Amino acid sequence: MRLNEADRQAIKAATEECFGADASVRLFGSRTRDDRRGGDIDLLVETRLLDANRVSRAHTLFLARLQDRLGEQKIDVLIDYPGRNNHPPIYAIARREGVLL
């Protein structure tokens, strides 16, 4: 995994602050592979928040906190929550191949 411990802790803390203590976050994509270089940070957040507007606000706050704590980087975030109607195939890939932080 190409994230240092401080970055992992920052992501986990921001997840809890924005989505709640019961939320989980997985790193997936190229950053999970030590044999690769570069790449954006791909995250899947799974939350129990129900209201889509609240999820949207949490997402915006989450990205702002990550940029503040990790510096300006390309970060892609997928968010899954109860009641989400659309689950593109990337969600299954992120769950299957992602590393729980």
Residues 52-78: tens digit of each pLDDT: 999 999 999 999 999 999 998 899 999
Size of the chain in residues: 101
The mean pLDDT value of the chain amounts to 92
Domains of the chain: residue spans and CATH: 5-100 (3.30.460.10)
Model-level pTM?
0.91
Q: Which has the closest alpha carbon to 38: 11, 2, 76, 90?
A: 2
